[in-house]
Amino acid sequence: MTAATELVLEHWVEVCEYHDLLPERGAAALVDGVQVAVFRLANGSLRALDNLDPCSGAYVLSRGIVGTSGTANSVNTVASPMHKQRFDLDTGQCLDDDSISVPTYPVRLVGESVQLDVS
């Protein structure tokens, strides 16, 4: 298949309304069998990553503490409520252990509808 004929498969699923998400808080959503943590940041932007904390094996990242890394190149983070490992909300990389990461997912706002694609 050439680039010109390559199909782009997107599967956007509405998970909630924008106003249902509180700033600096997470919410869990089940999308096509995948537990996802969705976050509305203080600046109004949205992020989504897997809800599974790989360090504890519990689906709890949506209940984590949202913040920033505090470095010169500050990144948005969520700290696991279990063992406090911090994950970059843009890349899923654990900031406390380079060998650990979680999947991130595209999230978009269409009108007031928050939509995710976990395909």
What does the pLDDT look like over 92-118, one tens digit per residue?
A: 999 999 999 999 999 999 999 999 999
What does the pLDDT look like over 33-75, one tens digit per residue?
A: 999 999 999 999 999 999 999 999 999 999 999 999 876 678 9
Q: Is the pTM of this model over 0.85?
A: yes
Could you please report the per-residue DSSP string of the chain? Answer: --TTT-------EEEEEGGGSPBTEEEEEEETTEEEEEEE-TTS-EEEEESB-TTT--B-GGGSEEEE--STT--EEEE-TTT--EEETTT-BBSS-TT-B--B--EEEETTEEEE---
What structural domains does the chain harbor?
Answer: 23-107 (2.102.10.10)
